[in-house]
Chain A
Amino acid sequence: MADIQKLVTMLKELDDQLVSCMRCGMCQAVCPVFAETGREADVTRGKLALLDGLAGEILKDPKGVKEQLDRCLLCGTCQANCPSGVHVMDIFLKARAILTGYFGLSPAKRIIFKQLLTRPELFNKLTTFGSKFQGMFAKPVNDVLGTSCARFQAPLIADRHFPSLAAKPFHKSTKPMDEPAGKSGVRVAFYPGCMVDKVYPGVGHAVLKVLKHHGVGVFMPHGQACCGIPALSSGDRESFEKMVATNADLFSNADFDYILTPCATCSATLKEIWPTMVDNESLKARIGPVADKVMDVSEFLVNVLGVEAMEGAAGKKVTYHDPCHLRNSLKVTAQPRTVLQASKNASFVELPNAATCCGCGGSFSLHHYEISKKIGDLKAKTVEDSGAETLATSCPACMMQIADRLSQRGHSIPVKHVIEVYAESLGS
């Protein structure tokens, strides 16, 4: 543990950002965690005040502050609605890194981030191993993966209804790709993200099918590392930078027009968090141009390929949940709906409160399962009430959380990625 004076000095660097919160309290209206608990320390204003108190040495309990800071989905809803324009996500991620630097990383996380997620090959082997033996060895797998990727520790928790690790991860059933632009004249890099790779490979295949259909050339190198958000949100900036560096090696010298991901969290991380949270200048310079080209898959279909909604499609009723990272960080809300409306065998209905968080929030759902569950149940209930026959969304983590809640509540409404719905409508 570093000494507290050093912690204070580091926190003071956040000062310029912390003072921009005018304590108006408007974040209370939108924070899903606060809506469940009603505690000020759970809402943005409270957390910022705690950090401010710690930096100003009014408050002397860094451990308590860290615990409060961890009670956050990092959904970004508060930032998107903050009248004062406070860079909440930036502050929270930096503060977590500072506090983690002070307390040190937990031993489990140390192994996972430093030894595993920073080494994609080993990570791939282990999850493949895990998927084969998960029935028998649920426990040991749990130990390793249970706190690993913020996005799929959830499936390994005992009483959840989770999709198992895919029998064959996406990267095993596809070859590395390096095609020229097709009839569309566009060539994209494809970054499936580890959750699509290891839990929902079907989403990855759907993306490839759609790209092929539209004549888009694909560049997809193997050996991609995780985007790094699990490490970063746990405060491990060093591992985060390593993961970014591995990806930079693969993508920064390649030639493509856009880099696509079907994972809302990955999109937001690549596009917004990579450029702001990487410290190393040369790495920053390398990833800048990559980050600029990031696009969500639906955004690409609509904005670049010109996919349009169709009149009067008569298929199964499908509704849409807005993933926080797509809506709050990237402001992509219309395009996924358009893609659904462009799908022949689906008829789109709007979901009430489509924009509220599903309550997953990576490691949040692990450490604060009860709150996560309640927030997820609110979402599941609106889905049930909407009468939709399919729920579509644009983030695999949301897919998992909502599927879990629906299933726990005894509803078998299928949960799909928008791109899967669209791919199905293209026929085989």
Chain B
Amino acid sequence: MADKALLKEFEAIVGADNVMSAEAETHAYSYDAAVLDSVAPAVVVRPTETEQLGAITALCNKHGLPLTVRGAGTNLSGGTIPSKGGVVVLTGALNKILELNMDDLYARVQPGVITAKFAAEVASKGLFYPPDPGSQTVSTLGGNVAENAGGLRGLKYGVTKDYLMGISFYDVNGDLVKSGSRTVKCVTGYNLPGLMVASEGTLGVFNEITFKLIPPPQAAQSMMAVFDDVLDASRTVSAIIAAKILPATLEFMDNFTIRTVDNFRKAGLPTDAAALLLIEVDGHPAQVAEEAEKVEKICKEHNAKSVEVAKDAEHRAKVWQARRDALPALANLKPTCVLEDATVPRSRIPAMMEALARISKEFDLTIGTFGHAGDGNLHPTILTDKRNEQEWHRVEKAIDAIFDEALAMGGTLSGEHGIGLAKSKYMEQETSRATIEYSRRMKKSLDPKGILNPGKIISALLD
């Protein structure tokens, strides 16, 4: 419980209704979507005007209070688990789309706007905002920037950072920093928008974001290719790209996931297949027709048992439902579901699949793998019960092993879920001691008291 005087100060900024300190309220902000221990904050504040963000930040800094900004709390790396005795700042009420500019193709938004709502609003104006994380119906744009979220369309259309033109944020003193611009080109000063991407709330508190919008593709074609051999499927991925075709989406599912999904919705998937590729090409109708044909051919050349091309919108929806069902179906199997996002260069996907099979055997764990094959971003999903201590210990070991493998292949710790608390300890392994020291010096000078989301990304102890 925070002391009364302090609560009064917060109340003066956001009003008494928007300050929560009762146990049964603060406990609801002690976790996020990562499988980690929860920590309740002392106070939760819910600003209703973006200016209040600055005042809150300044107040926290004055008192040396740890401050964690929370969008929807769907990140998978513990980024919104607060520090003990800290303050959680909610952006849910800062949910206005400030401008949709049809002439210059950009949008200005507050950080709490929900991703899918924004995309729908943009679409209703005949434009396109491509980043579509699986959590888009609830995740916020502020959270997307802070995690550099990506989605199914990452391969062709890129991720959140590729649409970020400008961002303004409050520094620890509560002063407003403006960066980037509404112009397509801008090289004024340091690339601060770039610095804010993937900063996970450790460098500043975003109050307004400017995104680039693009014209939508006119046509799309989806297909499902069935393979008897995981390696054939993986090689197909490289072959498609090598043929200079960039599908909008190129997703992978292993046999375990296929069977689980089929069992979940009885969708009539080929349960004996070793792997599925779900592919969508989009663009100009003529180009789509040509590319779809080529992709089909490449799949067959790489021993695809069958390639099902979606006949109509309904059929297309069915193909993607199978992909959307992957996580829920797996999550239904066991109480705890650890979703990792180890990412490797595309050409190493076959090797990574072999490594995952080995790890699953070695640690005697059930692992289902699906993910964004097109960008090498796999989601090995470990199914377990965290209450089983012995097994949980093996899970932790298996996660270490997965990252060892991914890094050894020139891959990365996180394709999209961020580092947060969960992967901070592996940071040095991927980068270098100097990288962490550099980042820490930067953090120290920008946030001398270390109040901005402490403990995240670069804070695991160096030996």
Contact = CB atoms under 8 A, between A and B. Distances in A.
Given A20-B335, A38-B92, A49-B38, A26 B137 contact: yes
Interface string A47-77: 0011001000011110011011000000000
Q: Contact residue range for chain A?
A: 20 to 34
A22 B90 contact: no
A180 interface: no
B24 A65 contact: yes
A23 B81 CA distance: 12
Contacts of B313: none
Interface in B318-340: 327-328, 331-332, 335-337
Interface string A24-64: 11101100000000111100001001100100001111001
Contact of B27 (A39, A50, A85): A50
A61 B137 contact: no
B169 interface: no
Nearest to A25: B74
Q: Which of B35, B137, B385 has the most CB of A within 10 A?
A: B137
Nearest to A26: B138
B138 A39 contact: no
B387 interface: yes
A65 B22 CA distance: 10
A330 B339 CA distance: 32
Nearest to A68: B24
Nearest to B385: A19
B28 A39 contact: yes
A28 B72 contact: yes
A104 interface: no
Interface in B3-50: 20, 22-25, 27-35, 38, 40, 46
A49 B74 CA distance: 14
Contact of B135 (A26, A60, A84): A26
A84 B331 contact: yes
A38 B47 CA distance: 12
A140 interface: no
Contacts of B72: 25, 28
Contacts of B374: none
B109 to A, nearest CB: 17
Contacts of B387: 19
A387 interface: no
Contacts, number: 93
Interface in B351-392: 385-387
Given A25-B72, A64-B22, A59 B27 contact: yes
B111 to A, nearest CB: 14
B42 to A, nearest CB: 14
A83 interface: yes
Interface in B71-99: 72-74, 90, 92-93
A53 B27 contact: yes
Given A25-B138, A38-B92, A19 B23 contact: no
Contacts of A26: 74, 135, 137-138
Nearest to A83: B328
Contacts of B74: 24-26
A49 B27 contact: yes
A83 B381 CA distance: 15
Given A23-B32, A26-B137, A59 B335 contact: no
A64 B40 CA distance: 15
B30 A19 contact: no
Given A24-B74, A41-B24, A64-B23, A83 B29 contact: no
Given A59-B23, A68-B24, 16 more contacts: A19-B387, A20-B335, A22-B33, A24-B135, A24-B331, A25-B33, A25-B74, A26-B138, A28-B138, A29-B137, A39-B28, A39-B46, A64-B24, A84-B331, A84-B337, A85-B332
7 contacts: A19-B336, A25-B32, A40-B28, A58-B38, A59-B23, A64-B25, A68-B28
